[in-house]
């Protein structure tokens, strides 16, 4: 069963950004105020969304309004195209 985007984001934030004070991520949470995410962490989060969720994040479409709340970020993630990976497993 696939995890929801919310669950995937929470896992990324806890595992990759080391946010330990996120017992349950809620769509209404503000990334900066409620979660304490700063600009460096935000860049790391974008990289993890690309790598871990296998999505293409077009830099020219990044707008500050995307990163206000968890809900706005989820809305943006839903618009992203999946990355096609052509890797041979040897």
**Environment class of residue 2 by beta-carbon count within 10 Å: exposed (0-12), middle (13-18) or buried (19+)?**
exposed
* Predicted pLDDT of residue 81: 94
Question: At 89, is the pLDDT very low, low, confident or very high (cuts 50, 70, 90)?
Answer: low
- Report the distance separating Cα 4 and Cα 25, nearest Å: 12
CA 61 to CA 81: how far, in whole Å?
Answer: 13
What pTM did the predictor assign?
0.86
Specify the pLDDT at position 22: 77
Query: Ramachandran region of residue 50, left (φ > 0), alpha (ψ -120 to 50) or beta?
Result: alpha
Note the pLDDT of residue 2.
66
Averaged pLDDT for residues 32-38? 94
**Average pLDDT, integer, range 13-17:** 93
In angstroms, rounded to a whole number, what is the distance separating the alpha carbons of residues 32 and 67?
A: 8
């Amino acid at each position: 069963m696939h995890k929801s985007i919310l669950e995937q984001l929470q896992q990324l934030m806890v595992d990759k950004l080391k946010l330990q004070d996120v017992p349950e991520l809620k769509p209404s949470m503000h990334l900066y105020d409620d979660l304490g995410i700063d600009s460096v962490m935000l860049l790391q989060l974008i990289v993890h969304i690309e790598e871990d969720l296998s999505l293409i994040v077009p830099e020219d479409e990044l707008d500050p309004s995307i990163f206000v709340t968890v809900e706005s970020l989820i809305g943006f993630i839903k618009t992203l195209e999946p990355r096609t990976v052509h890797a041979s497993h040897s």
